[in-house]
Amino acid sequence: MAGETLEFKTEVKELLNLMIHSLYSHKEIFLRELISNASDAIDKARYEALTNGEILERCGEWKIRISADKGAGTLKVSDNGIGMTHDEVIAELGTIAHSGTREFLEQMKQAQQKDRPGLIGQFGVGFYSSFMVADRVTVVTRKATETTKKAVRWESTADGSYTVGEVEKDRPGTDVTLHLKAEEKKYLDEWEIRDVVRKYSDYIEHPVVMDIEREKVDSADKAKRIKTIEEETLNSRKAIWLKEPSEIPAEEYNDFYKHLSHDFTDPAKVIHYRAEGTSEFTALLYLPQKAPYGIMYREYKIGPMLYVKRVQIMDHCEQLLPEYLRFVKGVVDSSDLPLNVSREILQANRHIEVIKKNVTKKVLDTLAEMKKSDYDTYVSFYGQFGRILKEGIHYDVARKEQIADLLLFSSTKTEAGKFTNLDDYVKAMPAGQEEIYYILGKPDENVLQSPYLEVFRKKGYEVLCLTDDIDDIIMIDLKEYKGKKVHSAAKGDIHLDTAAETDKGKFEKLMGRMKELLKEEVKDVRLSGRLTDSACCLVADEGELDPQMEKLLKSMGQEVPSRKRILEINPQHPVFEAMQAMADQGRDDAVKEYTGLLYNQALLLEGSKIKDPVAFARSVAKLMLEGAKRP
Ligand code: ADP
C-alpha cells in the first residue's frame, strides 16, 4: 500500500490522550458513535441517490453491519453510505472541526473524573471514542460517487500520528475496524453487542445487522448438531415520534433524547404532538436540563432533525426554529414536504414557515406552563438557557411580550437566589410608580448602595438588577411591558424627586459655568431627580447604551461610538451652595477646581477611570490641607 504518515492536529492528540487515560465509564458509547456515523453516512448517500440513481445501484440495500472476529480480536462496523475521499479522510479524521475545542479540553482537564463522560457527550467526540476500547483503529472507505474500486485506508494507534494510503474496496461505504484492547474483549460478545445496540441505537432507522452463529439440532438426524449463520437485525428501528404518546414510557422518551443529543442527562421536558390542518407534521421536541457544549458559539448547529414521511432529510434544520430557541432538540416529521427537498427550497418554503410558527408557539407555551406549574425546574432551566431565550426580545418583535413574560430577574428586593418577573414586579408597584426600573449589576453592596438608586431607595421602588451581557440592549428593545415603560435607573431623566424641581433657577448661573468648563466631557449639566444624598452623577441619555455595556461591547471588539453623558447635580447637596457663593465672589478658579473634582468623582462612582489621576490626587490633597487648617 502506497501511503504516508501524518501528524494529528494538537487538539486531537490531547483529546485522544484524555480519552485513553482518563475515561473509565460509559466506554460502550463508542459503538453508538460509530453506528451514528454510519447512519449519517447512509442518509447522505440516500439523499445523493435521489438525484443520482447510480449510487443506489452501487451501494445496494442500506445497511449497517457489525462483525465480531473473536480470533483476530476485532470488531468491525461497516456501512454502505457516502464514504470519504482521500482529502476528506484527512480533514475529518485528522482534525477536530468544533470551535471551542481548546476551552473544552481545559474544562475536561479540570473536571472531576465522574463529570467527564457528560462533558464528552456534550462536545460529541464521535469517532475518536473508538480509542477508549481499541489500541488500533483501521478505516477503509470508498466514496459512493467513485465508480472504480479505488478506496482509502486510514490507520492509527493514537500515538500522535496516522497513516493514509490507497487500497481497493468492492462496494462504496466505510468499514471501521477496532483492534480491541486485551481488557475490552467483551465487546466481541454477541449479547454485549445486542445490549449496547438496543440501549443506544434502537431508533436508528437503518437496520443494524449482525451474522449470528447458532448450533441447531439437525432435523434429519436428531443426534447431530449443525452450525447455522443467520443475519439478524438488532435494532427495532421504530420511529418513536410516530407512536402514540400514551404508549411511550418516560424512559423511552429519555433514551431517545440521549441518543439524538449525545447528552447523558435526562431532558427537562418532552414536547410531543401532532399538528393537523394547514400543515401536517409530528414534532418530538426536548428541552435539555444542561446547556450543551458550544451553544454560545456561532458554529453551533441549531434546529431539530427534519424527516419527511419517516425519511431523514437533515440533521439540523435551522429553518424550523428561531435562533433564540436553539437549545431545543428533537425531530420534526412532515407529511407535506417533497422527499427531495433541498436546502434552497427550505429557505422560502410555506410549509416550513407554518411549522416554524407552530413549533415556536408550542415551545414558548410549554415554557410558560413550566414556569407556572413546575417553577423549580423552570428556574434551573432558565439558569442554563435564559440568556439565549432573551435574544428573542431583540429578534422576535411579534412575540416580545410573550418572551418577556418568561424572564426571571434579581432585584433590589429579591432575596439571594430568588427571582421576580415582570408581571409580579408590575403588580407590586406602589401607587405613584409609573415605570419599570432596572440597573446593570448583581444586587450586591455596590449596586444596592449606588447613588443612582438613591431616590428609588427613598421611595421604596423596586429596581431590577441585570447581569447578562445583552441585558441593556434587551431592555432597550423591550421598551415597555403591559403599558409600563421600561427605564434604566442610570439613564435619562428621572422625575421622582419633586424637591429638585423647586430648586430650578437657583443654580442656573453656576450650572451654565460648569457646562462651559466641562464642554469637552459632557453634553449637559442638569439638576438631578435621582440623587438625594450624593452630590452628582453621570447619566447616559435615554436610548443610549449604559457605560458598563459600552465597555463590555468594546472589550468584545465591537465598534461603539462613545457618547458624551450628562452630569446631574443634586441641588440639595450643600457643596452647590458653597460653589454658588464662590461664583458670586468671582472666585472662578475655585469653581473650576471644584467642577473638575465633582466630575472626576462622578466618573469614579460609575466605575470609570479618570483621565488625569495625578491632577485629581493633587486637588484632593490640597483640599485636605485646607480642611486641616480649619479648627
Ligand atoms: P461527527 O460525527 O460529530 O461529525 P466524528 O468524529 O464522529 O464527528 O466524525 C467526523 C467526520 O468524519 C464526520 O462528520 C464524517 O464527515 C466523517 N465520518 C465519520 N464516520 C464516517 C462514515 N462511517 N462514513 C462517512 N463519513 C464518516
For the ranges 288-297, 363-372, 513-522, the lowest mean pLDDT is seen at 288-297
CA of 156 to the centre of ligand 1 (A): 16
Residue 54 belongs to some domain of the structure: yes
Predicted local distance difference test score (pLDDT) of residue 6? 94
Residue 210 belongs to some domain of the structure: yes
Protein residue closest via CA to atom 15 of ligand 1? 92
CA of 95 to the centre of ligand 1 (A): 11
Q: Kindly state if the Cβ of 288 falls inside 6 Å of ligand 1.
A: no
User: Is 44 exposed, middle or buried (CB count within 10 Å of its CB: 0-12, 13-18, 19+)?
Assistant: middle
Query: CA angle at residue 73 from 70 to 76, to 5 degrees?
Result: 90
513 shares a domain with 482: no
Predicted local distance difference test score (pLDDT) of residue 505? 78
CATH code at 616?
1.20.120.790
If we measure between CA atoms, which residue out of 117, 134, 129 comes closest to residue 186? 134
| Residue 176 Cα: closest atom of ligand 1 | 23
- Flag whether the pTM goes above 0.75: no
Radius of gyration over alpha carbons of the chain, in Å?
Answer: 33
The pLDDT confidence band at residue 521, using thresholds 50, 70 and 90, is very high
Residue 548 belongs to some domain of the structure: no
Residue 386 belongs to some domain of the structure: no
- pLDDT exceeds cutoff 70 at 21: yes
Q: Ligand 1, residues 127, 176, 260: which to mutate, most atoms within 8 A of Cβ?
A: 127
Residue 296 belongs to some domain of the structure: yes
Q: Which residue has the higher pLDDT, 103 or 523?
A: 523
Please list, in sequence order, all residues whose beta carbon lies within 8 angstroms of the beta carbon of residue 316, skipping any fewer than 6 positions away. 301, 302, 303, 304, 305
201 shares a domain with 68: yes
CATH code at 330?
3.30.230.80
Q: What percent of the chain has pLDDT over 90?
A: 58
DSSP 255-305: HHHHHHH--SSPPSEEEEEEE-SSS-EEEEEEE-SSPPTTTTSTT---S-E
pLDDT in tens, 103-156: 777 877 777 776 766 666 566 668 988 999 999 999 999 999 999 999 999 999
CATH code at 117?
3.30.565.10
* Helices 350-373/375-389 angle, 10° precision: 140
511 shares a domain with 484: no
| Residue 38 Cα: closest atom of ligand 1 | 23
Residue 493 belongs to some domain of the structure: no
If we measure between CA atoms, which residue out of 418, 369, 408, 371 comes closest to residue 386? 408
Q: Kindly state if the Cβ of 124 falls inside 6 Å of ligand 1.
A: yes
CA of 237 to the centre of ligand 1 (A): 21
Q: Which residue has the higher pLDDT, 308 or 184?
A: 184
What is the 3-state secondary structure of 67-102?
Answer: EEECCCCEEEEEECCCCCCHHHHHHHHCCCCCCCHH
210 shares a domain with 333: no
Protein residue closest via CA to atom 21 of ligand 1? 37
> Which amino acid, 139?
V
User: Is 515 exposed, middle or buried (CB count within 10 Å of its CB: 0-12, 13-18, 19+)?
Assistant: middle
Cell of 76: 468491525
Distance from C-alpha of 551 to C-alpha of 478, rounded to nearest angstrom: 22
60 shares a domain with 172: yes
Predicted local distance difference test score (pLDDT) of residue 340? 64
Q: Which of 202, 230, 258 is the last residue of a domain?
A: 230
- pLDDT exceeds cutoff 60 at 75: yes
Q: What percent of the chain has pLDDT over 70?
A: 94
Predicted local distance difference test score (pLDDT) of residue 392? 96
Q: Kindly state if the Cβ of 598 falls inside 6 Å of ligand 1.
A: no
What mean pLDDT value characterizes the chain? 89
Q: Kindly state if the Cβ of 174 falls inside 6 Å of ligand 1.
A: yes
Predicted local distance difference test score (pLDDT) of residue 314? 82
Predicted local distance difference test score (pLDDT) of residue 575? 93
Residue 400 belongs to some domain of the structure: no
Predicted local distance difference test score (pLDDT) of residue 209? 97
- pLDDT exceeds cutoff 60 at 288: yes
> In terms of residue numbers, what domain contains 269?
240-375
Please list, in sequence order, all residues whose beta carbon lies within 8 angstroms of the beta carbon of residue 532, skipping any fewer than 6 positions away. 454, 455, 458, 497, 570, 572
- pLDDT exceeds cutoff 70 at 500: no
Query: What backbone torsions phi and psi does residue 455 show, to the nearest 5 degrees?
Result: -70, -30
Average pLDDT over residues 390-412: 96
- pLDDT exceeds cutoff 60 at 1: no
Q: Kindly state if the Cβ of 121 falls inside 6 Å of ligand 1.
A: no
Q: Which of 230, 252, 280 is the last residue of a domain?
A: 230
Predicted local distance difference test score (pLDDT) of residue 498? 60
Q: Which residue has the cell 472531576?
A: 112
Q: Kindly state if the Cβ of 175 falls inside 6 Å of ligand 1.
A: no
371 shares a domain with 263: yes
- pLDDT exceeds cutoff 70 at 237: yes
| Residue 124 Cα: closest atom of ligand 1 | 3
Residue 28 belongs to some domain of the structure: yes
Q: How far apart are the first and last CA of the chain?
A: 98
453 shares a domain with 366: no
Q: Kindly state if the Cβ of 172 falls inside 6 Å of ligand 1.
A: no
DSSP 610-625: PS-HHHHHHHHHHHHH
The tally of domains found in the chain comes to: 4
Predicted local distance difference test score (pLDDT) of residue 441? 87
- pLDDT exceeds cutoff 70 at 25: no
271 shares a domain with 210: no
481 shares a domain with 518: no
Write b or e for each residue in 576-590: b if 16 or more Cβ atoms lie within 10 A of its Cβ, otherwise e: beebbebbeeeeeee
Q: Kindly state if the Cβ of 126 falls inside 6 Å of ligand 1.
A: yes
CA of 92 to the centre of ligand 1 (A): 6
316 shares a domain with 261: yes
* Cα-based torsion angle of the residue sequence 490, 496, 499, 501 in order, rounded to the nearest 10 degrees: 80
Predicted local distance difference test score (pLDDT) of residue 318? 92
The pLDDT confidence band at residue 497, using thresholds 50, 70 and 90, is low
Q: Kindly state if the Cβ of 42 falls inside 6 Å of ligand 1.
A: no
Q: Kindly state if the Cβ of 308 falls inside 6 Å of ligand 1.
A: no
Protein residue closest via CA to atom 8 of ligand 1? 126
Q: Kindly state if the Cβ of 81 falls inside 6 Å of ligand 1.
A: yes
Q: Which residue has the higher pLDDT, 190 or 3?
A: 190
Q: Which of 230, 265, 298 is the last residue of a domain?
A: 230
The number of residues in the chain equals 631
H or E element in which residue 162 lies: strand 161-168
Q: Ligand 1, residues 16, 39, 40, 104: which to mutate, most atoms within 8 A of Cβ?
A: 40
Q: Which residue has the higher pLDDT, 605 or 122?
A: 605
Protein residue closest via CA to atom 11 of ligand 1? 92
pLDDT in tens, 525-583: 999 888 888 999 999 887 787 776 777 677 777 777 778 889 999 988 999 999 999 99
192 shares a domain with 92: yes
Distance from C-alpha of 129 to C-alpha of 19, rounded to nearest angstrom: 7
Q: Kindly state if the Cβ of 16 falls inside 6 Å of ligand 1.
A: no
The pLDDT confidence band at residue 435, using thresholds 50, 70 and 90, is very high
Protein residue closest via CA to atom 3 of ligand 1? 126
18 shares a domain with 137: yes
Protein residue closest via CA to atom 4 of ligand 1? 126
Contact assessment for residue 452 and residue 489, using Cβ atoms and an 8 Å cutoff:
yes
